[in-house]
Structure 1
């Protein structure tokens, strides 16, 4: 790999140059064993901040004490009524609602492994994840119950706990919201799930049952957080209690100097089932006793902005598309940002124009970070003392080693010279859930000499700032979500008129990349873009559906017949 054009001559470096750039009050290392488990962190939090508001959603506030009581009741129900043993898997399939933290911490308190599920999954995607993780129990909002009903009999799921949007909002307000959602907006398609359990019933029964605190330690599995592999098949990254706790402490190490225990107010618009929001919004801000405003549907931008009125938030996280939408909203521009001290962007690249406009409007620097599901997720973040946007993904977080390697696996020691980024640290997963999967061993292993291979090509400057310049793997990044070409191609090939298909990412100003599908039709058959898109929508979540479809007579291939996606990407850029 040749040095990129940076305007500077490459120079040699050794060690960890980023440590010299850390602000003076940011530690080189953190204690990954501050807590022995997430349960220990939870118990300290609900004790220290008992009377303070923990979460707000649809105008309803839940205190840390209420979260303690209700998650205890849920844990007791799981243990005593459903007889779930520590280590069994429970899926959570819901947007940002008060039910989510109750179920999340209730499941962890019962010693279960949490499997977060995107509520917008198609039946096909849901079936794969539930089957692969061998999920016994699922908590699902009834808006999405029809998807589960399609595949329920083909999964190992035995217990279905159904909740409605308004279940935590009180009798009158909750019933009204549930009525509007179901009968006015018609957002609850018909479903048939016999023997399901109502969420409210679970809490009620659990309140009269005994809770038994499980024996947990740092090595205990906490999450199966699903991501894609280079095979295109979604797989579960095995994140232990210590992995996740370490990343929480790493975030605290980098940003703790500007955060005050028990005094922060954070906005959570990113879904908590996404690993970035899970660790940063869901756990870091719990760790410091923050008040957390949960936004259920950030795509309803006018509704989102209305919820911000009167909420003098001090912190907000998001992806580039969210920040771009906000800075272009006139009502948001009129908000009082005098309390805002920390803005963190992740999930996808932050664009200069968005970062600069955000800083101009809010007075807060938009600090970009980078991570992977396999790293719980944060690997690098921009330090809190930056003046503004510098186009980088920041510096490695505390207790994290990052190196760049060339095509031969040799470490690069020249600045501004591209290489594949590899990571070591206490936040890195042990392996994927399917230990015998091709991606967990052999030449396709995610590890190289004990380092996690990220698949991203980056450069490092003299201070240790990293910039992503390319992707080694074929993953497509759409608004912060991983999309893997093989999955798109597999679905496209199911159409009887498709002979060959290749999916690539095309840079797009507002969402990072969009999915482009290049197709070769079978001879003598008719097929148009509209028909093929409709076919893909049946099997793929909306953000995975190709936005552009191009028909060709042939696809570029190697001499052994492998499709050259990189050539297609280059042609599309």
Structure 2
């Protein structure tokens, strides 16, 4: 899609119109169409947020805070640095690799304000995984937390990266607190591994240089690409969904419309952002949606530090919590959280993975509040459907489609199935990506008939439009909200010369929801599970590695030799687990 600064905004009308069941049954809960988004780009949104919310707190973390005016000013400074000092131009890619810190929104919005395309990188990526993303996206620059700079050093030579900006955890705090926390992280807690990148620039220096430079407006349009978000998509592998300013702005409006009604505007809401901003769910909901609404986002850098996380919740007295099912379960197991006063909590949203009904029921019992479950995928920016926030949730469903979103349940020929019958969930709306970056073949596999997106998930629809996911066509293993593709794990294992064949599947786990389990046919009888684990540690992020390795004589296969992953668990009775 091409556009100019004067191009009218595209329509956000759903194809199906108001005859769809969710519009007929719940016209007040889910209007058919969202209102037109005022801003033409996320850069415009940051400017307008500063104009409307000014000196209110936008983000807080590690005892510091940034106002909406601060974010607008610092993002402009960073944009000016990128343009004048690094010579980056509109359309160049820049990687951001860091957890939830106040530097993230500054770097993210600064990059977009310079007209760049952001490539989010999970800090848990191994060097191999990061190298694959860099090779695919061909970025010219990266902004990385010092804790992970050693990975950048390893892949720098021969890559497209020309510029490295390194930030320390407390860089957005004032002195002397900044120096104390950064020193403790490096010298006392030894959280920063040694690295050597001679021409790297510190984030603090970048902001100072940018403040002395002049930012030039790149004149962004709604159609310009804002984000390359890596995902395994339907088949796994390295693919980036192309998400435009239009996609992301519209999806937050689709999602936030009902949340604004639920929270009201009598006070500034405080929202706990515990999910990582490099994940598209938290990026769209927290960094874009709640930010545009004027909420105070409390950034949680390490939610696995449950004691510290619970203290943050207690101190913040939030109006809203953004969680995954497993994190909600962990909170309820914490005595301090369970006995705390949750009367001020007005909304809890579970995203990233399926909400277990037992978790939802227990949450209601402990907090007195419902958890709202929704559904989305990276290719849809990501939210597609949600249980309406001002109605009791229907447990076991993913709710109803968002405004300006149409869905179909289709068969293998893309024809609608009968109401109530299972089929693949297909989605159409302004949040749907234009395709995968530099991958027309995979794009054609998931997009059909003018923009309908095949999700790869098998679903059913109730008479009144509520959706249920009944199976995963993609066979994804979802570990604490993160997708693990069996093929990626299998391929990594088979790089070991002692492995003949490998098959991976997910098994239930109390803490992570699911964890990978690997079945292996040995090529060399000397291979041990520990040896294979050490081999995989160098090639896969921690959440992708198998929690169990089982050696078997052979793997179940189809008549064409494809591994039958669903039949792998049948091998347990005869397997020799190690």
Which TM-score band (shorter chain)? over 0.9
Counterpart in the other structure of 2:209: 205
What secondary structure is seen at the aligned counterpart in 1 of 2:247?
A: helix
Deviation, 1:448, is 5.9
- The 3 A distance-change label for structure 1 pair 502 and 79 is same
CA distance in 2, matches of 1:473, 1:569: 18
The yes-or-no answer on 1:47 pairing with 2:44 is no
Deviation, 1:66, is 1.2
Q: How does 1:51-66 map to 2 (within 5 A)?
A: 51-66=55-70
Counterpart in the other structure of 2:560: 560
CA distance in 1, matches of 2:512, 2:386: 20
Counterpart in the other structure of 1:484: 485
| 1:332-388 residue CA offsets vs partner (Å, 9 max, x unmatched) | 123332221111101111111211121222222100010000000000101113324
Q: TM-score, normalised by structure 1?
A: 0.94
Aligned mate of 1:338, from 343, 363, 374 = 343
Q: Which has the higher contact order (CA 8 A, sep 6+)?
A: 1
Asked if the contact 1:379/1:396 (under 8 Å) is kept, the reply is yes
Deviation, 1:568, is 2.1
Asked if the contact 2:479/2:513 (under 8 Å) is kept, the reply is yes
The yes-or-no answer on 1:126 pairing with 2:130 is yes
Counterpart in the other structure of 1:440: 443
CA distance in 2, matches of 1:570, 1:15: 46
Q: Please identify, of 265-274 and 465-474, the stretch whose mean Cα deviation from structure 2 is larger.
A: 465-474
Deviation, 1:255, is 2.1
CA distance in 1, matches of 2:344, 2:24: 30
Deviation, 1:28, is 1.4
Counterpart in the other structure of 1:540: 540
Deviation, 1:397, is 0.6
What secondary structure is seen at the aligned counterpart in 2 of 1:356?
A: helix
> Structure 2 regions of 5+ residues with no counterpart?
1-17, 574-578
What secondary structure is seen at the aligned counterpart in 1 of 2:302?
A: coil
Counterpart in the other structure of 1:110: 114
Aligned mate of 2:319, from 314, 322, 343 = 314
Aligned mate of 1:365, from 364, 370, 375 = 370
Q: Please identify, of 384-393 and 95-104, the stretch whose mean Cα deviation from structure 2 is larger.
A: 384-393
What secondary structure is seen at the aligned counterpart in 2 of 1:391?
A: coil
Asked if the contact 2:260/2:293 (under 8 Å) is kept, the reply is no
Q: How does 1:88-487 map to 2 (within 5 A)?
A: 88-261=92-265, 263-415=268-420, 417-436=421-440, 438-441=441-444, 444-447=445-448, 450-487=451-488
CA distance in 1, matches of 2:244, 2:298: 27
| 1:195-232 residue CA offsets vs partner (Å, 9 max, x unmatched) | 10011100001111001112111110000011013443
Counterpart in the other structure of 2:77: 73
The yes-or-no answer on 1:38 pairing with 2:42 is yes
| 1:9-42 residue CA offsets vs partner (Å, 9 max, x unmatched) | xxxxx95211134362542111354321112211
Asked if the contact 1:366/1:389 (under 8 Å) is kept, the reply is no
What secondary structure is seen at the aligned counterpart in 1 of 2:255?
A: helix
Q: Please identify, of 187-196 and 425-434, the stretch whose mean Cα deviation from structure 2 is larger.
A: 187-196
What secondary structure is seen at the aligned counterpart in 2 of 1:348?
A: coil
Deviation, 1:389, is 5.0
Counterpart in the other structure of 2:498: 497
Asked if the contact 2:387/2:394 (under 8 Å) is kept, the reply is no
CA distance in 2, matches of 1:330, 1:155: 49
CA distance in 2, matches of 1:571, 1:381: 38
CA distance in 1, matches of 2:145, 2:203: 9
CA distance in 2, matches of 1:48, 1:74: 22
Counterpart in the other structure of 1:526: 526
- The 3 A distance-change label for structure 1 pair 572 and 320 is farther
Deviation, 1:175, is 1.1
Asked if the contact 1:402/1:422 (under 8 Å) is kept, the reply is yes
| 1:515-568 residue CA offsets vs partner (Å, 9 max, x unmatched) | 11111001x531121211121111100000011111111111222222222322
CA distance in 1, matches of 2:28, 2:35: 18
| 1:109-153 residue CA offsets vs partner (Å, 9 max, x unmatched) | 111111111011100000001111111110001000111111111
What secondary structure is seen at the aligned counterpart in 1 of 2:316?
A: coil
CA distance in 1, matches of 2:446, 2:373: 28
Deviation, 1:428, is 0.1
Counterpart in the other structure of 1:7: none
- The 3 A distance-change label for structure 1 pair 572 and 454 is farther
Asked if the contact 2:37/2:253 (under 8 Å) is kept, the reply is no
Counterpart in the other structure of 2:10: none
CA distance in 2, matches of 1:260, 1:125: 43
